[in-house]
Structure 1
Amino acid sequence: MRITELVREILASARAQKVSTIMVALLAAAMCATTLLTVGRAAAAEQQVQARLDAAGSRTLAITDSASAGFLTRDVIAQIGTLDVAERAVGLTSAIDVTTATVGRGGERVASWQVVGDIPDVAILVRGRWPLPGEAIVSATAMSALALDAPVGAITSTTGVTYPVVGQFTARDPFTNIAGGVLINASTGTAARTLHVIATTPSAVPSLQSAVLTTLDQPLQNIQLDSPADLAQLQSDVMGDLTAYGRGLMLMVLGAGALLTAIVVLADVLLHRTDLGRRRALGAPRWVIVSLVTGRAAIAGAMGAILGTTATAIALASAGHAPVPTFAAGTGVLAVLAAAVAALPPAVAASHNDPVRVLRTP
């Protein structure tokens, strides 16, 4: 039998046996809907947790020069920034209060930091230009506190040093502590108090920590280390638990749907065993019988999967929880495969029935 003829026979059989076709389709639709409503929501929650754990704050290694030894120089920071496991590295000095230069020490005080490294690694320029060494940029909050109408003018530190203001910035994640202050491009030779190194991924934190400590080559008593290595391990454990939960739930849903589909197909095979026996008696090989039964289940499963996936996805999207398209498509494919695989045992059993015994009249 040709493939085209077999396909026509499968379609005709599916149309003729409407009850079993509809039941298999409904089971496939139920599998898709249940999976998207349970495993799909769990997958969405897993992505949200992953995004939060992958935020820069959970990947930041902070090293403080607790002995004020001055080893966090611009060259050292630049070298650490070139590590394969480092996304960016920047140093900050201790915070110093500044006031508007025209007002002097009696004005409103705002915290400022000198940046040793590339300022774009900690800030986003909103107005003006990037500062040269010895120049400053201010945040919107600092600009308001310093009574500046625009990000221009000058500020004076409590140590008496004046810095021209040349722009306005917003802080990049994870440098939220500087969001309301002033950033000063450190002059050549200035050493940072704290080094912030952001790993490329949470799993790279242990490797980054080892590489940074090796590069610095400083006694441990000179260093205060704030590492997210434990958080990275916790992330790995949490994501592993969420993934295992999602897989287990999906296997349970697909397994239950496949079992019910197998029961429906078995009942249909028993009900139409005379028709299948007639085909065998007329010379149809066993593989044709198997293909006929499984193909009918696969077609019904495909119709149900399309219906269930589309309807559930629309309902979830209207509620603000749209599933990931690839996950929804994969769910439909798995439902069709589950229906086809579930139909195999009854199909194989039907193909091995003796046609003479099946067609024998009482």
Structure 2
Amino acid sequence: MNLRTLLREALTAARTAPVPSALVLLVVAAMCFAAVATVGRQAATEAAVAAELSGPAARVLTVTDSGGTGFLTGATVATLAGLDSAGAALARDMPVDTVNAAIGAGGTRVAVTHVVGTVDRGVELTRGRLPGPGEVVVPEAKLAELGLAQPSGALESGDGRQWAVVGAFEALTPFEDLADYAIAVPAAPASLVVQQVRVLAPDTAGTRAMQDSALAVIDPDPRSSQVQTARALAAGNATITGELAGLGRSLLLLILGAGAFFVAIVVLADVLIRRRDLGRRRTLGIGRADLVLLVAVRTAAPAVLGAVVGAGTGYAVVVGQGGALGLDFVAGVAVLAALTAVVASLLPAAFAAFRDPVRVMRTA
């Protein structure tokens, strides 16, 4: 039997046997829906965790002068910013509470902190310009709280010092905490004593080199400092992502295995019910391999349709609930489910192909 004839016969057989075809379609659709809705969501969670463990926030080394010894200075920060292994280095001193000078002591307070290092990597100006000595930029979200319609005016501390407001900014990752401060720059950056310095590695691969180089420059005293190492170097990261990946694979195999079992049962029942038709084909000269292929293609037709329906429905449900799934994953699940159904049909097909056709015709 040539391939074209075989395909035509298989599709005709699938149409004339609506019950087993519908059952195969439903089983494969359920298999795809379950895989996309559960394994797909778990895969999205795995990707989000991996991104967080390798993102900018995980590549930051933080050193804090908890003892107030003054070992961190602007000169140290300048050296850190010049390291080849550092993507950014940013430090701030002890903040000072201020209010809108036009309102006075009863106004909303905002802390002013002097920042040194790669300031442009920590904030993005939304209005105005970067500050000079005696000037500040204010977080965009705090302008209204301070009673400022525009980034202008002045902030005043309790001891009478004032800073002119010259701009507004949004804090960038991983320096989001700067959104709590009005940022000033010192007149003499090198001599500024800072409370905390953070160094950012440009990528995950360079995190170890950045941390080793930065700690060699800072040489913190463990008795008067706190060192928070980059989370990207944590030994448990690989374990966490590995366990998530293993869970997803196990769940996918379980779903595919259950689906394959039910498809095999449906196909076996179909070949037993239609044994007279299959026996007639054998007596008319169809080969065993062609008969196996006929049953497999007859199973593949509703399986492909079920895979499309199930995967599409699962994708729509996950996306509708705010999840994020790659279309390549959804397509991969659909293809894998359809192939699983075809493979599951081979054993019942082989059982039908290797039965004695004469005996089948006599007992059917």
The unaligned stretches of length 5 or more in structure 1 are none
The alpha-carbon distance between structure 1 residues 165 and 254, as it changes in their structure 2 partners (threshold 3 A), is same
How many residues matched? 359
What does residue 81 of structure 2 align with?
Answer: 78
Is contact 1:77–1:91 with CA below 8 Å preserved after alignment?
no
Superposition RMSD in Å = 3.6
The unaligned stretches of length 5 or more in structure 2 are none
TM-score where L is the length of structure 1: 0.81
1:320, CA displacement in angstroms?
A: 4.7
Matches within 5 A, 1:216-235: 216=218, 224-229=226-231, 232-235=234-237
Matches within 5 A, 1:1-362: 1-50=1-50, 56-65=56-65, 67-70=69-72, 73=75, 74-80=77-83, 82-83=84-85, 87-98=87-98, 110-132=110-132, 135-140=135-140, 143=143, 148-155=148-155, 163-187=163-187, 188-191=189-192, 192-199=194-201, 205-206=207-208, 208-216=210-218, 224-229=226-231, 232-321=234-323, 323-359=325-361
TM-score where L is the length of structure 2: 0.81
195-204 or 58-67: which moved more? 195-204
Q: Please give the per-residue CA displacement for 1:169-210, whole angstroms capped at 9, x wherever unaligned.
A: 232344344323211134442454422123456786555423
1:152, CA displacement in angstroms?
A: 2.4
SS at match of 1:179: helix
Identity among equivalent pairs (%): 38
121-130 or 309-318: which moved more? 309-318
109-118 or 337-346: which moved more? 109-118
The alpha-carbon distance between structure 1 residues 285 and 71, as it changes in their structure 2 partners (threshold 3 A), is farther
Task: Quote the Cα distance in structure 1 between the aligned partners of 2:308 and 2:347.
Answer: 25
SS at match of 1:291: helix
The alpha-carbon distance between structure 1 residues 90 and 322, as it changes in their structure 2 partners (threshold 3 A), is closer
SS at match of 2:180: coil
326-335 or 145-154: which moved more? 145-154
The alpha-carbon distance between structure 1 residues 284 and 321, as it changes in their structure 2 partners (threshold 3 A), is same
Task: Quote the Cα distance in structure 2 between the aligned partners of 1:97 and 1:240.
Answer: 46
Task: Quote the Cα distance in structure 1 between the aligned partners of 2:363 and 2:97.
Answer: 103
The alpha-carbon distance between structure 1 residues 10 and 118, as it changes in their structure 2 partners (threshold 3 A), is same
Task: Quote the Cα distance in structure 2 between the aligned partners of 1:6 and 1:214.
Answer: 74
The alpha-carbon distance between structure 1 residues 36 and 115, as it changes in their structure 2 partners (threshold 3 A), is same
Is contact 1:262–1:343 with CA below 8 Å preserved after alignment?
yes
Task: Quote the Cα distance in structure 2 between the aligned partners of 1:158 and 1:257.
Answer: 72
